[in-house]
Amino acid sequence: MAEPRTSPRIRSALVLVAFPALLLVTALAADVTPAAAQDPAGPSHTRAYVFLGAGVGLTIGSFLIAESADHAYDRYLDETDPGAIEQAYDDAVELDRLSAATLIAGQVCLVYGIWQRFLRSPPREPETTFESRTAPRWSVAPAIHHDAPALVVDVRF
């Protein structure tokens, strides 16, 4: 009987990776609190904590996927059937690439979360002088749509 394409351990690792990724997409799609509703004591750090949690989850998930890749490579070394050898090697390569991508995404999320929480200065109140109204302002923000993710560039003169 043929072995299933993905083992239960790989599926659980993928679920572990998918959950923080879902949190990340949710954080990008919705602004956590509007500026008018923010507490005067300081800005909300919810988005930073979501990115930090997603980064930790993705990093842990990458190690689980790497362990599965190691098991697939061990299967590759132990097999004697040419078809099974090729399948085990392909599984090992695929899981190694997935592990590397997950690790990179997790580290990017961790760095962004740390920057968002500890290094970014809070937004300043807009000035009401004539000079500040004539200077152009711009911003770039992520936008998640049902068709595809995109970046929104806002330029105001």
pLDDT tens figures, 58-108: 999 999 999 999 999 999 999 999 999 999 999 999 999 999 999 999 999
Which is more confident, 2 or 57?
Answer: 57
Strands 149-156 and 137-144: antiparallel
Q: How many structural domains comprise the chain?
A: 1
**Res. 140: pLDDT tops 80:** no
Contact 58, 32 (CB under 8 A): no
Q: What is the DSSP letter of 30?
A: S
Q: Is 88 helix (H, G, I), strand (E, B) or coil?
A: helix
Instruction: Compute CA distances 3 → 6, 75, 77, 96, whole Å.
Output: 8, 12, 17, 20
- Please give the single-letter amino acid code of residue 40: P
For residue 110, tell me if it sits in a domain.
yes
What is the predicted pLDDT for the residue at 31? 47
For residue 126, tell me if it sits in a domain.
no
What is the predicted pLDDT for the residue at 34? 47
Place of tokens 């109204």: 133
pTM listed for this prediction: 0.57
pLDDT digits (tens, 9 = 90+) for 108-125: 999 999 988 888 776 666
For residue 130, tell me if it sits in a domain.
no
What is the predicted pLDDT for the residue at 1? 40
Look up the domain containing 75 and give its range. 8-32+44-120+135-156
- For 120, the token pair is 């970014």
